[in-house]
Structure 1
Amino acid sequence: MAISTKGMRRITVNERVYLWRVFEIYDQGWFDGVQVTVAAMDQTLFLRYGLHQPDDSRTAVVARGRGAPTIRTACPTFQGEALVLTPQAVRDLIEWGLTVAL
């Protein structure tokens, strides 16, 4: 099944195209508040990261492929001091997600 591209931005990392968007949601997902979701166009990687997480318990959600197990794992900070998520921060998130051992 294809991924809907409506409202998504594109970024290319290691010659693979990813779609991403920032949105705000409460009581309906992994994180409350502002978060980013990333999906590889070929559906080999899915990521979700919440921006307003405490430093001592910061996590991201990672899945390697459609139907693959989803894990929540500790991660570094991917946004700046002003809690702004730039395309470079999304690139860093993707590169980190590709290194996570599942």
Structure 2
Amino acid sequence: MAISKKNKSKVSVDGKEYLWWVFDEYDQTEFDGIQIKAVSSDQTHFIKYGLQQSLNNSKLVLALKNYTKLVHLSLPPKFENNEGVITKTGINRMIKWCKKDVHHIEYALDGSRNDLTEAEKQLLLKELQKIIR
């Protein structure tokens, strides 16, 4: 199913296109409040990040389109600017940050399994990172 481009912005990171937008939502997603969603143009995966998170308890979600595989990565840096506004530059940094080799995984889901060992979580992250590279 196609994603409407209305009220969405485009960014290209390392040759891969993303549509991204800001929305405000409560009780429906991993974050409450203002958040960012960046979806790859092939719609295989997406990245979500909540604005206004406290630095010592922040996270970012990297997931396949249908949520069958996902990881919550702990303690990302702030991608918004000093005024709390996310820009194309911040989106670019967010996507590149997901590609880094070392992350602490707060939570992971592979199919219906959420009781993964640390080694299984790291393998799942590597699998997702191959998709975004």
TM-score normalised over the length of structure 1: 0.86
- Supply the distance in 1 between the matched residues of 2:73 and 2:46 (Cα, whole angstroms): 13
Distance 2:73 2:47 in 1: 11
Q: CA deviation at 1:6?
A: 3.0
Aligned match of 1:37: 37
What value does the CA root-mean-square deviation take over the aligned residues?
A: 1.7
- What letter matches 2:72 in structure 1? R
Say whether residues 1:82 and 2:83 are aligned partners. yes
Runs of 4 or more off by more than 6 Å in structure 1?
A: none
The equivalent residue for 1:47 is 47
Q: Percent identity?
A: 35
Tell me the equivalent position of 1:4.
4
Paired with 2:41 and 2:58, the residues of 1 have a C-alpha distance of 26
Which has the larger Rg?
Answer: 2
| Amino acid across the alignment from 1:89 | G
Residue-pair matches, total: 101
TM-score, structure 2 length as denominator?
Answer: 0.68
Structure 2 residue runs of 5 or longer lacking an equivalent are: 104-121, 126-133
